[in-house]
Amino acid sequence: MRINLLTDAPKHNLALMKLSAFHKQLGDEVYLNMPLMPVDITSASILFESTPLPFANDYGGPAIPDSQPLALWIEQCKPDYSLFNLDYSLGYTYRPCFRNCDFCKVGSMEMPDIGHHSIWEFHNEEFDTICLLNNNTFFDTRWEDTFGEIWEAGLSVRDENGYDLRLLDDSKASALKKTKWSGELHFAWDRMEDAKQIMNGLELLREYKINNAHIYVLIGYDTTIEEDLHRCQVIKDYGQTPYIMPYVADKQNKAFKRFIDSFMWRKYTLVKQAWRNYD
């Protein structure tokens, strides 16, 4: 059979990579993002709600309400890394996050399981880098096993989803410091009510000399511009870099994101003074 896989994912889509592996095991021909090609089955995994839904036999992904996980026998397939021409491994050692934040889709998505998994379930030994898609690695009671496997294999880690500053302690900060990273580390400060825990985490980053991390800053949800400026100031004072994530892309929030992305605030002691002078 001829199988067409469609997605709006800009870099990779793990579900489609597993579907591709499954179909190739059956001897099927698999194509990616070829909507006009005559095929037997089309499957779509859509990330963004703004994406027009293509014609497909079945749909999944964060943009699809009540999206279901892959069938277990497909979920257990090693990803087909040739589908997106990746040169790094991609997968989960732990899927859930129990924060249940209103602004995040993770809590509403059905997980295939909530157990711990080894990197060897998806790691390709030809690669020297691994990308973990875990939604909150430090909720996993066996998070040390994940890092231990990575260290033993001598791998670098691509960090795309980030780590929870509120769960950071000495052992976790030490593990992050020991790990080889491909690119910057990512954390987040979404809510003002978490300020004390976030600052404790930032203090640990400074203590363990984990520098130049990107801290996602959610704006346009339940904070004021003054609170947004305050969070960016604290992050700057701890030697880290704020990265703005607008929940509502109105004129002010888009301007504030452009302001932070411009890095002109680095010339100022106070971020709020830089914002006043920003044209």
**pLDDT tens digit string along 60-72?**
999 998 888 899 9
Separation in Å, CA 10 to CA 6, 47, 121, 179: 12, 10, 24, 27
Question: What pLDDT, on a 0 to 100 scale, did the predictor assign at position 96?
Answer: 92
Per DSSP bridges, beta strands 156-159 and 180-181 are: parallel
CA–CA separation, 83 and 101 (whole Å): 33
What is the number of residues in the chain?
A: 279
pLDDT tens digits, 135-184: 999 999 999 999 999 999 999 999 888 899 999 999 999 999 999 999 99
What mean pLDDT is predicted for residues 182-189?
95
Among 56-70, 125-139, 246-260, whose mean pLDDT is lowest? 56-70
Domain boundary among 77, 97, 113: 77
CA–CA separation, 104 and 107 (whole Å): 7
Question: What pLDDT, on a 0 to 100 scale, did the predictor assign at position 104?
Answer: 86
CB-based contact 33:5 (threshold 8 Å):
yes
Sheet holding 214-219, edge to edge: 186-189, 214-219, 241-246
Domain boundary among 77, 105, 136: 77
The answer to whether residue 7 is domain-embedded is yes
Question: What pLDDT, on a 0 to 100 scale, did the predictor assign at position 35?
Answer: 87
pLDDT value at 260 more than 80: yes
Question: What pLDDT, on a 0 to 100 scale, did the predictor assign at position 161?
Answer: 87
Q: Which pair of structure tokens corresponds to residue 75?
A: 């979920």
pLDDT tens digits, 17-76: 999 999 999 999 999 999 888 999 999 999 998 999 999 999 999 999 888 889 999 999
pLDDT value at 107 more than 80: no
Q: Which pair of structure tokens corresponds to residue 271?
A: 């971020």
The answer to whether residue 98 is domain-embedded is no
Residue 101 confidence class, pLDDT cut points 50, 70, 90: confident
* Among 172, 163, 13, residue whose Cα is nearest residue 85: 13
The answer to whether residue 207 is domain-embedded is yes
Q: Which residue is it, tokens 């302690």?
A: 169
The answer to whether residue 200 is domain-embedded is yes
Cβ burial of 235 (10 Å; 0-12, 13-18, 19+) is: buried
What is the domain range of residue 190? 186-279
Residue 212 confidence class, pLDDT cut points 50, 70, 90: confident
Domain count, the chain: 2
Residue 106 confidence class, pLDDT cut points 50, 70, 90: confident
What mean pLDDT is predicted for residues 187-205?
97
The answer to whether residue 239 is domain-embedded is yes
What single string gives the DSSP state of each residue in the chain? -EEEEEE--SS--HHHHHHHHHHHHTT-EEEES-TTS--SEEEEE---TTSPPPP-SEEESTTSTTPPPPPHHHHTSPP-GGGTT-SSEEE-S--------TT-SGGGSPPS--S---GGGT--TT-SEEEE--S-GGGSTTHHHHHHHHHHHT-EEEESS---GGG--HHHHHHHHHSEESS--EEEE--GGGHHHHHHHHHHHHHTT--S-EEEEEESSS--HHHHHHHHHHHHHTT-EEEEEESS--HHHHHHHHHHHHTGGGGSS-HHHHHHH--
The answer to whether residue 93 is domain-embedded is no
The answer to whether residue 66 is domain-embedded is yes
Question: What pLDDT, on a 0 to 100 scale, did the predictor assign at position 279?
Answer: 78
What mean pLDDT is predicted for residues 247-264?
96
CA atoms within 13 A on the CB side of 209: 1
The answer to whether residue 201 is domain-embedded is yes
CA–CA separation, 83 and 210 (whole Å): 34
CA–CA separation, 236 and 230 (whole Å): 10
What mean pLDDT is predicted for residues 110-121?
92
Q: Which residue is it, tokens 């910057």?
A: 184
Domain boundary among 59, 77, 95: 77
pLDDT value at 262 more than 80: yes
Percent of residues, the chain, with pLDDT higher than 70 = 100
pLDDT value at 108 more than 80: no
Specify the pTM: 0.92
